[in-house]
Amino acid sequence: MFTTSTHMLKDTKQPAKEISFDALVPAEMAVKAAETGVKKTALDTLRMFLLAVLAGAFIAMGAIFATTVSAGGSVLPYGVSRLLAGVAFTLGLILVVVSGSELFTGNNLIVIAFANRRITLGALLRNWGVVYLGNFVGAVLTAFLMFLTRQYTFGGGSVGLAALNIGEAKTSLVFTQALVLGIFCNALVCMAVWMCFSARSTIDKILAIVPPIAAFVAAGFEHSIANMYFIPVAMFIKQMGTPAFFEAINKTPAEFPHLTWSNLLLVNLLPVTIGNIIGGVMMVGLMYWFIYLSKAKKAAATTETAQRIAAATARPDVPAPVFFVSREPPVRSLEVPLQATSGRSDEATSSSRLH
């Protein structure tokens, strides 16, 4: 009376999915980088732009931290001061990567998806253009708001003096110097982003970011998006700083002649941006694509072709693909169709009977 069907006694629990906590190996990182590039280019323009504005502001936050740490750095050995500034600046990329915002220099790795034929050239350039503009807006807006805080007067004006010296140095570079410094910079930035593709946790990402980013700042390399904060904030201080501030640092605005908008755009951002693209695209993105994905894609295409051939030959109703055409002339068949032969035989028999 109280029977239980056998199917109800079966254990309905499914085996738990195994989760690996090991870091991804480079070949897996390359696949993940290509997938990430596809997702980034699929964003609508408004969201892409807003995420880029956030990234520009985040990089500016790292620059603010680095400038503050550099204030009064003359009392420390040069290398120690640069190291402290570099470690402080890593805040910017940590915020960008962990929060998921859009940074132009890191997005140079989208070229992996393009090289793998997952996105079009138009989609790639659209992302770079929108993100670069958004980064500029976010960084310059943060620079202006930071000027309004009068933080440059802190430490007896030492913070503002550090900002002025940084901006003046960056707008005094010659084209080739800025270009090469930009190449090395984004090679390190993209290596930091590349290593983040291996990460399984937030801590993994932070540990992957700190060494290369601290290294590029300490070495004095040029980052186009960071310079969208460093130079404008120095220009705001030069043009609108209070007389009391310049008196405190014993300087005049005329002592910083290179801090102009034209120098920002032409002397710094133009060569540095070109250098950043070369460093990120050529030295990291395309290099890893060639090593890990170019041959894999060819192998996948070969396997797919072989599978199609096997499937076609296995079905008699589907002709197998022909890969060459014989140059020999066709051989005429000597066989006579059965119906035609039998027809002629009947005619011959009838004729013989009449005669």
**For residue range 206-243, what is the model confidence (pLDDT) as tens digits?**
999 999 999 999 999 999 999 999 999 999 999 999 99
Residue found by looking up tokens 């790795």 in the block: 109
The string of pLDDT tens digits covering residues 163-201 is 999 999 999 999 999 999 999 999 999 999 999 999 999
What residues of the chain score a pLDDT lower than 50?
A: 1-10, 301-302, 305, 309, 320-327, 331, 333-355
Question: Are 237 and 164 spatial neighbours (Cβ–Cβ below 8 Å)?
Answer: yes
Query: What gap in Å lies between CA 134 and CA 138, rounded to an integer?
Result: 6
Instruction: Provide the pLDDT for residue 349.
Output: 46
| pTM reported for the whole predicted model | 0.79
Pairwise CA distance, residues 288 & 30, whole Å: 7
Domain boundaries, the chain: 26-297
**What are the tokens at 295?**
């041959």
Q: Say how far apart CA 246 and CA 255 lie, in whole Å.
A: 11
Position 117 scores a pLDDT of: 95
For residues 180 and 55, give the distance between their C-alpha atoms in angstroms, rounded to a whole number: 24
Q: How far apart are CA 50 and CA 128, in angstroms?
A: 14
CATH architecture type of domain 26-297: Up-down Bundle (1.20)
Q: What pLDDT score was predicted for residue 334?
A: 44
pLDDT of residue 23: 83
Contacts of 31 (CB under 8 A, 6+ apart): 292, 293
Q: What pLDDT was estimated at residue 18? A: 55
CB 245 within 8 A of CB 157: yes
Which pLDDT does position 72 carry in this prediction? 81
